[in-house]
Amino acid sequence: MSLLSKLFHYVLLSVSKYKIDESHGLSHAMEILTHANTIYEHEQLYHPELKKDEKIIYVSSILHDMCDKKYMDQDKGLEDINNYLLNLKNDDQYLINNEESSIIKDIVSTMSYSTVKKNGFPELGEYQMAYNIVREADLLCAYDFDRCMIYQMYQKNYSIESAYDDAVKLFDNRMFKHNDDGLFLTSYAQNNYMLFEKKAQFRINHWKRILNKKL
């Protein structure tokens, strides 16, 4: 089984164990991985030294919500991730070493929007760009308006109308201010975030038309 398969299998197990809803489950792990890969491939053209961090970027992307304090005790989630990674093998060959597991822990524990707004960016030295890539991939995922509504419906038992209203407020106060708040540092995100904003605004308007039908 490939490393990617093992990681996604861990996501499936964690989703079941901690009752993580679909807004932060397998599909989100897949989406952030694809965004992280896109950013990585773009940034590597200007930062070839990123090649050594490729595995760290992908592992962090896939597992970043498997210690989310919205669903579990974060320290326990981080401990479980660390134990899992350090025991991953293929043909008696360990796939993740101690240094890699440690930096993955540092990335996933400091990349959330609320943590960055409270504490600022961590200082991760040579891994700073890897951190930025994973964090900004997650920010680009946050422009998925449906995902925001889905979280409200699962966690707050909101009606579709209330979920829509809360999601609109969240986008106005948070997602549509990502760039103004200085959260995008990679050239890819800086050059492309407006495309995600436009797609989100289109989705907001589409939902408004549906909900105005008073079905």
Instruction: Please check the confidence at residue 208 and state whether its pLDDT lies above 90.
Output: yes
- Given 134, 158, 184, the domain boundary residue is 134
User: Domain span at residue 63?
Assistant: 1-134
**Residue 84: pLDDT band with limits 50, 70, 90:** very high
**Residue 85: pLDDT band with limits 50, 70, 90:** very high
**Residue 91: pLDDT band with limits 50, 70, 90:** confident
When the pLDDT of each residue in the chain is averaged and rounded to a whole number, the result is 96
Residue pair 171/204 in contact by the 8 Å Cβ criterion: yes
Q: Are residues 112 and 206 in the same domain?
A: no
Instruction: Please check the confidence at residue 102 and state whether its pLDDT lies above 90.
Output: yes
Mean pLDDT in residue range 133-137 = 98
pTM of the model: 0.96
Q: Give 42's Cβ-side CA count (13 Å radius).
A: 15
Q: Are residues 25 and 108 in the same domain?
A: yes
- Tell me the per-residue pLDDT of 33-42, one tens digit each, with 9 for 90 and over: 999 999 999 9
- Tell me the per-residue pLDDT of 19-34, one tens digit each, with 9 for 90 and over: 999 999 999 999 999 9
Mean pLDDT in residue range 141-153 = 97
Q: Are residues 91 and 29 in the same domain?
A: yes
Name the nearest CA neighbour of 105 among 51, 47, 66: 66
- Given 78, 113, 134, the domain boundary residue is 134
Mean pLDDT in residue range 111-132 = 96
Question: What is the torsional sign of CA 107, 140, 44, 37?
Answer: positive
The Cα–Cα gap between 178 and 75 comes to 27
Overall domain count for the chain? 2
Mean pLDDT in residue range 119-127 = 96
Between 164 and 215, whose confidence is greater? 164
Tokens 């890897």 belong to 130
Give the pLDDT score at 66.
Answer: 97
Give the pLDDT score at 136.
Answer: 98
The Cα–Cα gap between 182 and 193 comes to 12
The Cα–Cα gap between 145 and 201 comes to 8
Give the pLDDT score at 123.
Answer: 96
Instruction: Please check the confidence at residue 17 and state whether its pLDDT lies above 90.
Output: yes
Mean pLDDT in residue range 152-159 = 95
- Given 89, 108, 134, the domain boundary residue is 134
Q: Are residues 105 and 210 in the same domain?
A: no
